Amino acid sequence: MTPTARHPPGANPIAAMQAAWHINARTSATARNGIATVHWDHRSGDDAELNCGLGDDHLIFSLHLSGFSFASVTLDGRRRCAEALPRGSWMLVDTGGQPSAETSGPFSLLHVYVPKALMRQTCEAYELPCRLPDSPVYRTGTLADGEITRAARALGAAALEPGLLAGMQLDQASQNLLFDLISLLHANGMERHHHLSTAARRSVERYIDRHLDTPITLDDLAHAAGLSKYHFLRAFKADFGQTPMSALRDRRLKAAARLLATSSAPIIEIALACGFADHSHFSTAFRVKFGQSPTAFRSDNLA
């Protein structure tokens, strides 16, 4: 295949792909959020070599409005398919994997170019525990996957709408497709990539140890980890099987148990030093954790 110049981030994706493909674009439009859509119509029976003209900053959703008698698709140096593709099938590819295709015969398809930065910003704005996988995205489906294909068709139809409300329709359709793409990738395992890094864990542990005698909130722990509260909560539970506040209580109780076994300080002082507001609260939590009162524990363990 002949290499195609890849346009820098921020370039108009429709113009970049037009320069790479040299195929007729029947309609095209760009929503305010940066999602662009174009209807490609290749009526020639000649084979086509389709190289991506974009940089590594987009996902391409391709809805096949006609069937392909044959298509061979390569992504990230690997051949992902080499077969006939039915009308109504779709494909989602990551431009970071330098996708390319070889096709036979005429075809008609709808392309949607979604900036990856937009997906990341949307997930952060709504505190969604999602991020794009480390390896280039590749997903396929058929019309049975109704929501995402309906959203893509609605976006393509909005690009044709005349009148004063056309821009609003285009923006709404692009947001609907963005929602469906995030839902698709989240359901396919984006969340499993979200765990606390070693640095984040150590930062949280240090924060707890330094503030053991003061009230600590979930916001405090999330800030120490450098994450949003929702992301931190989900990642922490995935790693430890309990909520951060439950783990904090356990850490306070273990610290109290060490002090009970190694010092003669009054129990109320130990309770306050470990962040418990009063003796009663501390004694109840301690009994639940260790099966005996602080006094009995000290009697059994004090050196």
Residues 236 and 124 in one domain: no
Domain boundary among 193, 214, 232: 193
In this prediction, residue 59 has a pLDDT band, given cuts at 50, 70 and 90, of: very high
SS3 for 256-288 is HHHHHHHCCCCHHHHHHHCCCCCHHHHHHHHHH
pLDDT at 111: 97
User: What residues have CB less than 8 Å from 34, skipping those under 6 apart?
Assistant: 115, 118
Q: How many CB atoms lie within 10 A of CB 205?
A: 13
Does pLDDT of 1 surpass 50? no
Instruction: Check: CB of residue 179 under 8 Å from CB of residue 130.
Output: no
Domain boundary among 178, 193, 208: 193
Residues 205 and 139 in one domain: no
In a domain? residue 4: no
Average pLDDT rounded to a whole number, residues 293-300: 92
Mean pLDDT, rounded, of the chain: 86
Number of domains in the chain: 2
Residues 178 and 203 in one domain: no
Q: What angle do CA 11, 16, 20 make, to 5 degrees?
A: 155
**pLDDT, tens digit, 9 for 90 and up, residues 251-271:** 999 999 999 999 999 999 999
**pLDDT, tens digit, 9 for 90 and up, residues 213-249:** 899 999 899 888 887 777 788 788 877 878 889 889 9
In a domain? residue 3: no
Average pLDDT rounded to a whole number, residues 144-150: 75
pLDDT at 163: 76
pTM over 0.85: no
pLDDT at 191: 44
pLDDT at 239: 79
The DSSP letter of residue 5 is P
pLDDT at 14: 93
The DSSP letter of residue 192 is G
Residues 76 and 21 in one domain: yes
Using CA atoms, how far apart are residues 260 and 233, in angstroms rounded to an integer? Answer: 31
Q: Is 73 helix (H, G, I), strand (E, B) or coil?
A: strand
Does pLDDT of 9 surpass 70? no
pLDDT at 41: 92
Residues 278 and 294 in one domain: yes
In a domain? residue 6: no
Q: What angle do CA 158, 153, 6 make, to 5 degrees?
A: 85
In a domain? residue 257: yes
Residues 85 and 137 in one domain: yes
**pLDDT, tens digit, 9 for 90 and up, residues 18-57:** 999 988 888 999 999 999 999 999 988 788 999 999 999 9
Residues 209 and 268 in one domain: yes
Longest dimension (CA), the chain: 90
Residues 202 and 158 in one domain: no
pLDDT at 193: 45
Using CA atoms, how far apart are residues 26 and 31, in angstroms rounded to an integer? Answer: 17
CATH number where 240 lies? 1.10.10.60
Least confident of 136-145, 213-222, 268-277, 287-296: 136-145
Residues 223 and 129 in one domain: no
Does pLDDT of 73 surpass 90? yes
Host domain of residue 294: 198-301
In a domain? residue 5: no
Residues 31 and 152 in one domain: yes
